[in-house]
Amino acid sequence: MENLENSTDCKETASPLNNSGSLLNNTDSRPDGRAMGFVLVHAGAGYHSESKAKEYKHVCKRACQKAVDRLRAGGMALEAVTAALIELEDSPFTNAGTGSNLNLSGEIECDASIMDGKSLNYGAVGALSGIKNPVLVARRLLSETQKGKLSAGRIPPCFLVGKGAEQWAISHGIPACPTEKMTTKFSLSGYKRNKRKMELAEQVEMKRKRQSCEHENNSACLDTVGAVVVDREGNVAAAVSSGGLAMKHPGRVGQAAHYGCGCWAENARDISLYSTAVSTSGSPFLAGEDCVLGGVIVLRCCTCGEAQRSEDIQAVLVEFLWSHTTESMCVGYMSAQDSKARVSSSYI
């Protein structure tokens, strides 16, 4: 295994269905002040129009850069993964935050969750409206649970939905954002088109077909965006965010918000030498039935001392992969030692 102190050159398989790589990094800060760490992101598994391939790649690059900036500034995995998700949510081309799918009532309701591999704490929101960056609320929920019990011995929430989640976010300093400001021309036109299809199907008494199997309109990704990060101390974190299915029933909470479904992060324990972070996309995840599709990104790392080099230096072996059963998936990855992110658009 090559020691990659200034690059993230990695070995990739040729298959678009299952791509992987590995690298060896020092986890302590270098003498030149550059911190160590690694980030892997995805912009959703589904159908990505080739005409918008540049936009998907650009947002993955920006998300990686935001995460790496936090790592270089001394930030931990939770901070970095949150920064990556904010960038993905802010893009009008992803189905998360701004530009999310509209539900049956023409409203945006988002799901998001985040997990800290060190503490195993988790925070999530479901069917959340009126907040630009749902991942910020999930992150704040996680942070509040780490502070312990509330007054009178009450247990702090880690998962909130609907109006309760929105009110909690605002009361904790996260600004509200009107739905119309989060709705894009693309998501609105998709809503109107889907609504016409539903009305026509009802008129002719046809069965409603899953829209996730159709991409005649060059739609964007169909589900969750996500990121996984390892920081200089070997801590891992994972996060996901989703606007959910197009034309979903108001109040529906997808897998992105559920514990152990949308994401998972766990540092190395006595029973395992490896730290693992996972972020999934699809509902349900990677099922084998027709039109039930998804994707996944996985990061696994092992921290070990290199006594032959220095007792003060630790190295971390990072393995990462992405896989999907959907028509396409766009991913990006970057080490804190790299000058720029690498991106890949995978098509079946």
Q: Which residues does the annotation mark as catalytic?
A: 224
Q: Where are the alpha helices (DSSP H) in the chain?
A: 53-72, 77-90, 134-145, 162-171, 179-182, 185-203
Residue 155 has phi, psi (to 5 degrees) of -85, 125
Q: Give the separation between CA 130 and CA 134, rounded to whole angstroms.
A: 9
Asked if 43 and 59 count as a contact pair (C-beta separation under 8 A), the reply is yes
* Element of type H or E holding 317: strand 314-324
The single residue listed with the structure tokens 């998300």 is 63
Q: Sheet with 328-335: list strands edge to edge.
A: 159-161, 122-128, 110-116, 236-242, 225-230, 38-46, 328-335, 342-347
Asked if 329 and 346 count as a contact pair (C-beta separation under 8 A), the reply is yes
Amino acid at 206: M
DSSP 29-65: PPTTS----EEEEEEEEE---GGGHHHHHHHHHHHHH
DSSP 153: G
Q: Give the separation between CA 315 and CA 306, rounded to whole angstroms.
A: 7
